[in-house]
Chains A and B, each alone.
Chain A
Amino acid sequence: MFKLEDERENNATNRETLIRPFIRFLNEEVCWKFSQNFVIEKDETIGEGKTIGKLDRYMMNADIAGFLGKYVFDSEPSEVAGSSEMMDEIFEASENKLAATVFIPQYWNAWSSI
């Protein structure tokens, strides 16, 4: 998982620029037992130009809470979970929005040691 700098827009060009050093790392810095070559194949981002794919499409609940707690919000987890606007930004599935009041505070610090 990678994070774009805050001022950068999450578009295809910036994403590729972000991943290029990682590809270079895989191809040039890792000693593989059997040599392999990594290439960027495609960008599978959905909703390009509109609402981009939300977090619950790709991450587990505990990881969503951990990511939000470490990288996105300085607020208290209960405040984030209580904001319906933010819940719409984070989740696509209504079931996840309902459960968020429980798991967001529970796993808020799950990524603090990573």
Chain B
Amino acid sequence: MSPAKKTDSNSTPKKGVQLKFKSNKDVPKTSLSPKKLGNNSSVIIIGSAFGLVFARTTHPTKPGEDAYTYDAKRMLIENPEKAATLNCINVRLFPIIKFMLLIFFSHAFYSPHSIFRSSTGGKKALPTPLKFKQAVTTPRSMCLN
């Protein structure tokens, strides 16, 4: 009987064995990991006649959307002196209440689930205001279900 083969732990690995190295992505993230730099909101300049210059912003991650600038616009509207020092002559600020009304009415009239739309998809007649309705004279108790 031949003696059992001893394996030497210090011996070089056999050919064909692929060594795996730790890659950066394997390093677990901790609170100490360096933070990603934030994306930049772009400002695009457009010149027009009579010395007019427009500045518009674009969202860093949502293509086609404006950057969030409501607070800055509000500041410029409330502080005209500051706006004047920046040569800012006007600010386009879509008031939130107008926006909410727009959403409400567009939903009310154009949504397929609109309360003013019939089941066939056609527009329902708008409800008549109460003051133009004939007074209901039948007592409620006499109404058939």
Contact = CB atoms under 8 A, between A and B. Distances in A.
Given A3-B52, A37-B40, A43 B89 contact: no
A42 B49 contact: no
Contacts of B49: 52-55, 89-90
Interface stretch (B21-29, B67-75, B118-126): B67-75
B53 interface: yes
Residue from the set B42, B75, B82, B87 with the largest chain A CB neighbour count within 10 Å: B87
Interface in A9-36: 10-12, 15-16, 18-19, 21-23, 25-26, 29-36
A41 to B, nearest CB: 4
Interface residues of B, number: 35
Interface residues of A, number: 53
Nearest to B80: A114
Contacts of B53: 1-4, 10, 15, 18-19
A11 B38 CA distance: 31
A2 B87 contact: yes
B108 interface: no
Nearest to A42: B44
A42 B42 CA distance: 8
Interface in B61-111: 67-69, 71-72, 75, 82, 85-92
A19 B90 CA distance: 14
A4 to B, nearest CB: 4
Interface of B: 38, 40-55, 57-58, 60, 67-69, 71-72, 75, 82, 85-92
Interface of A: 1-6, 8, 10-12, 15-16, 18-19, 21-23, 25-26, 29-45, 48, 52-55, 57-59, 63, 67-68, 71-72, 89-90, 111, 114
